[in-house]
Amino acid sequence: MRTSRTLALGAATLALLISACTPGGGSSTSPSASAAAQKPTVTVGSAGFDESALVAEIYAQALEAHGYTVKRQLELGERPVVQAALTSGSVNLVPEYLGGLASFLKATVSSDAKATFDAMQVKLAAENLVAFNYSPGTDADGWVVRKETADKLHLATMSDVAAVAGQLTWGLAPGCPDNPVCGPGLKSTYGIDISKIKVKSLAPCSTVMAQALNRSAIDVAQVCTTQPDIQTFNFVLLKDDKALQPAQNIAPVARKDLVDAAPADFAQILNAVSAKLTTDELTKLNVAVSVNQKSFAAAAKQWLTDQGLL
């Protein structure tokens, strides 16, 4: 898992943004400059995997394009770490996944995105947090095997792999034992008790996990379903035939004090970005970073430009 990093908008760039809003580059007391000065500073955080960090960067650049000062604290870690940073105020905006966050907050989850979102929103309100519109695209947790393993053991579904779980080495996230849709969910839904199988703890949704599977260090890997490594290594994605995984559409979650301090365009900017994040676009973004080796900043800028959002 990559270490946290903080990227801040330079003072010179900020000055240019403000002066660009001032007719003739004149006094900063003009209405446009005053409006920009009144916009609160946004500190964007993300979980410790590429897609989360990339989507956070997209939200950050979209806000910067509209005069917001944005700081970054990307790749913080798994959900408990990110949520603690958000509730403590060290970050005030993060991209989240409906089912994952709803489960963490002990809200009712299902494959119905709206129902899951509504249940999550109630729990967020109790924490003085607010979620904005969720994306049409979804990126759920999933499990993959090598094609030869699937062919040899006749694996197509999670029920299939449950029957031979003890014969295989599983690559699972460090937080899997406590994650309702991982360890507990695998046991209650498929009868797979992760305390009784061979497990290697690896970063979820990561190329490290995929490479471990590809070189046979593990036999089953926990991935994200928009992860480009699935195509790169020709893995077989096992069907979640008993619907363990809830809707995992992406929604930006912000502290209420930030929302209250921000003008109306804050929600409009975030919602416009989310509306463009289809499953196909998420996969393309992941390919840009993981396969084509673009930086988060470069991939985000190109995508925003292509979508007409810059």
- The whole-number pLDDT of residue 214 equals 98
**Which of 79-83, 117-121, 153-157, 282-286 is predicted with the least confidence, judged by mean pLDDT?**
282-286
Q: Residue 291 — very low, low, confident or very high, per pLDDT cuts 50/70/90?
A: confident
Per-residue pLDDT at 246 exceeds 90? no
User: Does one domain contain both 42 and 113?
Assistant: yes
Residue 129 lies in a domain: yes
Predicted TM-score (pTM) of the model is 0.69
H or E, element range at 17: helix 11-20
- Can you give the CATH number for the domain in which 192 is found? 3.40.190.120
pLDDT tens-digit series, residues 101-112: 999 999 999 888
In a domain, 2, yes or no: no
Label residue 280 by pLDDT band (50, 70, 90). Answer: confident
**134 and 25 in a common domain:** yes
Q: Is 280 helix (H, G, I), strand (E, B) or coil?
A: helix
166 shares its domain with 274? no
* pLDDT 10s digits, 25-71: 333 333 344 455 689 999 999 999 899 999 999 999 999 999 999 99
102 within 8 A of 115, measured Cβ to Cβ: no
Number of structural domains found in the chain: 2
Whether 76 is in a domain gets the answer: yes
Percent share of the chain, pLDDT over 90: 75
- What pLDDT shows up at residue 36? 55
Tokens of 220: 């089953």
> Is the pLDDT reported for residue 1 higher than 70?
no
Domain of residue 184: give its range. 141-237
pLDDT at 69 (0 to 100): 98
CB-count exposure of residue 260 (10 Å: 0-12, 13-18, 19+): exposed
Comparing CA positions, the residue from 138, 149, 194 lying closest to residue 171 is 194
